[in-house]
Amino acid sequence: MAKFPPYVGKLERTWHYTYLTICGLVFLYLILPIIMIVPLSFNAEPYFTFTEGMLAFDPDAYSTRWYTDFFTSKSWIHSIKNSFIIAIAATFLATALGTLAALGLSRPHMPARELIMSILISPMIVPLIISGAAMFFFYSQINLAQTHLGVILAHAALGTPFVVITVTATLVGFDRSLIRAANNLGADQRVTFFKVILPLIAPGVISGALFAFITSFDEVVIVLFLAGYEQRTIPLEMWSGIREQISPTILAVATMLITISIVMLASLEMLRRRSERQRGMSPG
Amino acid sequence: MAQADATAGGGAGKLDKLTTADGTPLKASLRKAMRRNKLFAFLLAAPLLFFIVFSFLMPIFDMATRSVENRQIPEALPRTVQVLESWDQQAVPGEDAFAALAQDIQEGAKNRTIGQAATRLNYQESGMRSLIMGTARRADQLEPPYKEALLEVDDDWGDLAIWRLLERESDYYTASYYLNAIDLTYNDQGEIVSQPEYRQIYVMLFWRTLWMSALITGLSLLLGFPVAHLLATLPARHANLLMILVLLPFWTSLLVRTTTWIVVLQTEGVLNDMMVWLGVISNEGRLQMIYNQIGTIVAMTQILLPFMILPLYSVMKGISPSYMRAARSLGARPPIAFWRVYVPQTVPGMGAGGILVFILAIGYYITPALVGGQSGQLISNYIAYHMQQSLNWGLAAAIGTILLAGVLLLYAIYNRIVGIDNMKLG
């Protein structure tokens, strides 16, 4: 970083280092709170702060008791199960519907594209508190409130814009003559879709699905309104944990959720590179 | 096709006479193929369109209707409503109105529909619920003449203002939730006036939501600009590594990130502990940095910062470094070159990031609810309050609809600047 062109003066050098320091501080602001949670979740004491033992790296000051707590608690296990059931079902629904719609939207003769696109994107734009309240009113009239199905439908609706956006973006680079070639070689619509189109847009579909999954998995506002006791998810359990009896088990949960985010981020990055390779662009 | 090629130069008028192999006119055949193409494209999008309309737009529409709906009163007090239609509002009405009211209350007490109307009227005038429910409890003792009977149960029934309230709220639709949501109300004469000072809260909350969102947007721009610039100018190898520091928070659960701020900022938290240890503050002088506006602003700025950095980064990535070099070689000093040449080119990124952060901020609920205390609550928190605690759903729907209108307006601006199609994720 220290290679400056010869015309750069002293003042400018000083400014450059100041600028780097500022950036460093912003990065710390972004990442430090998240990283700090990890060691704190291994605290042997029921505190939310570093004990003297922890700072001295005394092994006795660390323990996995909050993780044991989490995995032996009935309500947490219940919420893990719910979170996965709801997120997987919502992802499935969102990905299937979203991919189909994106295929339609990318065809050259789509009628009223702008209007339909803005309707399909709308769940992403409306603040969650409004969606939550509105869905509560409507779903309770048709007996969908406080059911798994209701929460799944709501989460699928929130996830579809991400699928539509990522798949549409992938289709921008899609060579439509491949479809004609497949048809020419005797493939029908179904075979063309599964053997030609789907493998090529797979990175977009999978990253859309990941977005939809994490949207449902982390979502708390809608669940707050729509879920009954039976539908409690991990974020809802955390929410009430933070509001009522705060315990370091929350930090253990948070650490595990951070791990999941890292896995998601890594998979997405991999997909992005793969997709760029397929289109003949070299990664980054 | 060969036929079409051969005569294509002959003018559009002749096109009608061209036919395809099976004898249909080419124009019709083309139109049919086009129609089939359009239909096929639409059919692909149709399932999702139907799904979104059902699971998302209908609820939103339902909420908007609920914000003006007022069926509790005409349904629970049908006779009273009918009699009051021809009332001149000058003096307490006569026996016919009292008789209608008594019958309505008797019937409502029997089939338990009166409670909803009582609650509904209580939103307008506190005391209405106890007046109606008190009367309903003694409904079976009411006998003609009803005027005397009702006045004996509660002499508030002789109050002209109460009859005016009944008359005003007798329609199937009402504007009173919206008036309530902007701190207005009706006075005894039925004119629209401000709420008494102690009940004025929503206008202040809307303003607070706006200025706090603006402040958070400004702070994210201030902090995000240098970082985006660094990411855009570093060689890809370093930039990709640093990008993880932006993307990891972006991908981490909102609830987790809010929790981390509770851990860092609370009075017994990491930051206070550190400052005590460093001797910056005394153990007794621990700072209150959370459960107030500071907590909301610090946490929300950090949470929304990636939404500013990412669009800024993608715009800055497209700015060629040769512009700055050209400015320098033409004699501009670095600050001038930066301000006059570089910054103007980043305006689209600032606009996109700024509106995005602002839209997200004005609808934020979770973070202010957990770290905002009393002074850091935003308008969303009051929607939740009316949904879950006060159960005044009409008011919640009215505030929600106003907020929604604001967001949609901002979004239309965002769409003008960036376009939905250009929205980038991650």
What is residue A27's predicted lDDT score, i.e. its pLDDT?
Answer: 95
Residue A207 has pLDDT above 50, yes or no: yes
> Based on the domain organization, do B160 and B282 belong to the same domain?
no
**How far B92 CA sits from the closest chain A CA (Å)?**
38
Task: Give A-chain residues touching B260 at CB under 8 angstroms.
Answer: 33-34, 36-37, 254
Among the partner residues A37, A109, A165, nearest to B423 by beta-carbon distance: A165
Pair B36, A109: CB distance under 8 Å? no
Which has the closest alpha carbon to A268: A224, A209, A222? Answer: A209
Structural domain boundaries, residue B76: 72-172
Q: Is B280 in the same domain as B371?
A: yes
Q: What is the pLDDT of residue A120?
A: 93
Q: What is the mean pLDDT of chain A?
A: 88
| Contact check, Cβ <8 Å, A120/B45 | yes
Average pLDDT, chain B: 86
Query: What is the distance between the alpha carbons of residues A108 and A132, in angstroms, rounded to a whole number?
Result: 36
Partner-chain contact A109 B400, CB within 8 Å: no
In a domain, B189, yes or no: no
Q: Which residue of B has its CA nearest to A133?
A: B387
**What was the pLDDT predicted at A62?**
86
Q: Would you state the pLDDT for residue B421? A: 54
Q: Quick one: pLDDT at residue B1?
A: 40
Residue B35 maps to a domain: yes
Pair (B311, B258) in one structural domain: yes
Asked if residue B273 belongs to a domain, the reply is yes
Which range, A239-243, B53-57, B390-394, is most confident? Answer: B53-57
Look up tokens 């199609």; give the residue.
B421
Indicate whether B124 and B6 sit together in one domain. no
Helices B202-233 and B236-251, interaxial angle, to 10°?
160
Q: What are the structural domains, with CATH classification, of chain A?
A: 75-278 (1.10.3720.10)
For residue A252, give the chain B residue with the closest CA.
Answer: B256
Question: Using CA atoms, how far apart are residues B161 and B188, in angstroms rounded to an integer?
Answer: 5
Shortest CA gap A27–chain B (Å): 7
Does residue B226 sit in the same domain as residue B368? yes
What does the alpha-carbon distance between residue B171 and residue B75 come to, in Å, rounded to a whole number? 10
Q: Find the helix or strand (DSSP H, E) in which B192 lies.
A: strand B192-194
Percent of chain B with pLDDT over 70: 94
Would the CB atoms of B223 and A116 count as touching at under 8 Å?
Answer: no
User: Are B158 and B240 found together in one domain?
Assistant: no
pTM: predicted TM-score of the whole model, two decimal places: 0.87
On whether both B131 and B239 belong to a single domain, the answer is: no
First to last CA, chain B: 47
Please check whether residue A211 is in contact with residue A265, taking contact to mean a CB–CB distance below 8 angstroms. no
Tens digit of each residue's pLDDT (9 = 90 or more) over A131-178: 999 999 999 999 999 999 999 999 999 999 999 988 988 888 788 888
Q: Among partner residues B46, B246, B260, which is closest to A33 by beta-carbon distance?
A: B260
Number of domains in chain B: 3
Is residue B107 very low, low, confident or very high in pLDDT (cuts 50, 70, 90)?
confident
Indicate the pLDDT class of residue B43, thresholds 50, 70 and 90.
very high
pLDDT at B6 over 50: no
Q: Which of B40, B263, B297, B387 to mutate to test the interface with A (most CBs of A within 10 A)?
A: B263
Residue type, A284: G
Do the strands B192-194 and B184-186 form a parallel or antiparallel pair, or are they unpaired?
A: antiparallel
Which chain A residues have a beta carbon less than 8 Å from that of B248? 31, 34, 261-262, 265
Please check whether residues B131 and B24 belong to one and the same domain.
no
**Same domain membership, residue B41 and residue B144:** no
Residue B11: pLDDT band with limits 50, 70, 90: very low
Q: Distance between CA B61 and CA A10 in Å, rounded? A: 63
Tell me which chain B residue has its CA closest to the CA of residue A9: B334
Angle, CA B244 vertex, CA B241 and CA B247 arms, to 5°: 155
Residues B219 and B356 in one domain: yes
Same domain, B255 and B367: yes
Query: How far is the C-alpha of B350 from the C-alpha of B312, rounded, in Å?
Result: 6
> Pick from B43, B62, B81: which residue ends a domain?
B62
| B25: helix, strand or coil | strand
- pLDDT tens track for A245-267: 667 888 899 999 999 989 988 88
Among B172, B192, B226, where does a domain finish?
A: B172
B249 in a domain, yes or no?
yes
Task: Tell me the residue ranges of DSSP E strands in B195-291.
Answer: none
Say if B197 falls within a structural domain: no
The beta-carbon neighbor of B56 closest among A123, A214, A265 is: A123
Looking at residue A279, its pLDDT comes to 65
CA dihedral A207, A209, A211, A212 (to 10 degrees): 170
Residue B179 lies in a domain: no
Q: A30–B270: do the CB atoms touch at under 8 Å?
A: no
B367 and B220 within one domain? yes
* Residue at B181 is within a domain: no
- pLDDT score, position B149: 84
pLDDT (0 to 100) of residue A1: 47
Q: What is the CATH number of the domain that holds B225?
A: 1.10.3720.10
**The last residue of a domain, from among B151, B172, B193:** B172
Buried b / exposed e across B381-403, counting CB within 10 Å, b at 16+?
A: bbbbbbbeeeebbbbbbbbbbbb
| DSSP characters over A88-102 | HHHHHHHHHHHHHHH
- Crossing angle of helices A128-141 and B58-66, rounded to 10°: 90
Closest C-alpha to A251, from A35, A80, A27, A31: A35
Element (H, E) at A203: helix A198-218
Specify if B367 maps to a domain: yes
State the Rg of chain B over Cα. 32
pLDDT tens column, A57-111: 888 888 888 898 888 989 899 999 999 999 999 999 999 999 999 999 988 888 8
